[in-house]
Amino acid sequence: MNFQIITFYEFKRLENLPEIKATVKSAMEEFSILGTIIVAEEGYNATVSGLPADIEKFVEIFESNLQTKLSYKSSFHTECPFLKAKVRIKKEIVSLRKAVEIEKGNGTHVKSDDWNKLISDGNTIILDARNDYEVEAGTFRGAINPKIEKFSDLPKYVAENLNPNEHKQVAMFCTGGIRCEKFAPLMLEMGFEKVYQLEGGILKYLEDVRENESLWEGECFVFDDRIAVDNNLQQGKAEDLRPLSVNPPQKK
């Protein structure tokens, strides 16, 4: 029996967050869906797991209640990598602690098929937008590791280490795309001329690009009991290097 794990997010103006939380939590319980969903006024961000038939039903309910069409990344595992169903209301669906106009990032997305060409360009600065312990599991060839402990530290790193007058073409990536959705507009505001983000993140790239053509090296850290996934989106072998200040995996 294989469990399906899906990740999805959307920047979408939401109201009545307590009502949304109750509705989504009810749907998770009805279809035995486990994982975490964050809702905020700026949108939602989720990683959940369940049997494929139940995931399909849950997605239908979610789309109907939030009046949207989900674009999610999917993988499979022999066990459910979560223990609980959580729906949390927060100020941000990914914490940058800076006001950003997401719309300014329109036109910066690069699909998986075009990513290799972009990052193989010698003029491109490749920026890993993830935390240091995530980068340790794997990253793209030639990428900069900013060695940050949390996403909200990234603006300071860029301000101190990258120069818009010298680094005119920056390509960034993260696990599923959500962090880059916030950071690409911010980099444009900081004066960087050409900013690109990997559409759908690493997970979409691994889904789309053949292993023998991939420029990804190592495994991709994921925030569930699998710890990391390999090029085939199967559970990897990377160790969990998260510091004690970060929540440990839900089970061993």
CB-based contact 135:238 (threshold 8 Å) = no
- As a whole number of angstroms, the distance between CA 6 and CA 4 comes to 6
Report how many helices (DSSP H) and strands (DSSP E) the chain contains, helices first: 7, 13
> What order of strands is seen across the sheet that includes strand 85-89?
73-77, 3-11, 43-50, 34-40, 85-89
In a 3-state reduction of DSSP, which class is residue 218?
A: strand
Q: 205 to each of 54, 101, 102, 119, 188, how far by Cα in Å?
A: 26, 25, 22, 13, 24
**DSSP strands (E only) in the chain:** 3-11, 34-40, 43-50, 73-77, 85-89, 109-110, 124-128, 138-140, 169-173, 194-198, 216-218, 220-221, 228-229
Tell me the sheet residues that pair with 170: 125, 195
174 is catalytic: yes
For tokens 């937008």, name the residue.
129
Residue type, 7: T
SS3 5: strand
Residues labelled as active-site residues: 174
